[in-house]
Structure 1
């Protein structure tokens, strides 16, 4: 289904350091009524979680170039997120769904070599919770 591919793409890209909002695609798809809630939740959550895994890989494998002008996170912010992650650790990934801080936190998790098997379920839980909240708001509004 083309709509689900679009939702997956929007969810994936919005979870990376690229700007974007998958919530609009999610709500729009639900509004059409062509896809049930469970399917939309699954596609959006998987896409968004995989986008965060891409951020993890950026942190894991590209952090050596953190001072390069084209590195996706500025050095002062990079240091701030590192301090945050040192302070709150793995559980700070429950904020991976939030705008502005969520995506860089997933990069920093890669820098700190957080095992992917720990990273993925925590991030997936956070992403699913966000989409459930959005779906709840949509249901209340309709």
Structure 2
């Protein structure tokens, strides 16, 4: 049940919902849960949340001319221009606390092929969660930590 909770929290954290998976992850690390499974489920959940952002991004063109749509055409064009500067490789930074979710949304708008999208986002998220786990182990002095 704890791993499912971590997956769902990590998924929510990658969307616009207010969630912070690192807090739960840190608690699980210090409680002795499997580091492999913690890393796996956090990475999988956060990547899945980014895929949701990508799906939403792919729908932007359908709604951008609606009065209620929150992003102007000029803002969309600016986001496309910035994304094109580094292309799909910028999805490796989808883990960033500020702007990472927007990158995955723009990745959807730019219709990055799904395999590339998922692989690049998962690599970035996996590296981030690996670093967070390592930092928690270092800070907590959990037996068996490096």
Contact persistence 1:17–1:104 (CA under 8 A)? no
The residue number in structure 1 matching 2:104 is 106
The residue number in structure 2 matching 1:23 is 22
CA shift in 2, pair 1:6/1:67, >3 Å: farther
CA shift in 2, pair 1:137/1:44, >3 Å: same
| Structure 1: gaps of 5 or more residues | none
1:79 and 1:22 mapped to 2: Cα distance?
32
CA shift in 2, pair 1:139/1:57, >3 Å: same
Mapping 1:1-80, distance limit 5 Å = 2-33=1-32, 35-66=33-64, 68=66, 71=69, 74-75=71-72, 78-80=76-78
1:81 and 1:18 mapped to 2: Cα distance?
21
CA shift in 2, pair 1:18/1:70, >3 Å: farther
Other structure's SS at 2:101 match:
helix
1:54 and 1:47 mapped to 2: Cα distance?
11
CA shift in 2, pair 1:80/1:17, >3 Å: farther
- Cα shift at 1:20: 1.9
- Cα shift at 1:100: 2.1
Find 1:119's aligned residue among 117, 128, 142.
117
In terms of Rg, which structure is larger?
2
| Structure 2: gaps of 5 or more residues | 141-146
Spell out, residue by residue over 1:43-84, the C-alpha distance to the aligned partner (whole angstroms, 9 max, x if none): 00001101100100000124432465765x643654443222
Matched, 1:131 2:126: no
Q: TM-score, normalised by structure 1?
A: 0.88
More helix as a share of residues:
1
124-133 or 76-85: which moved more? 76-85
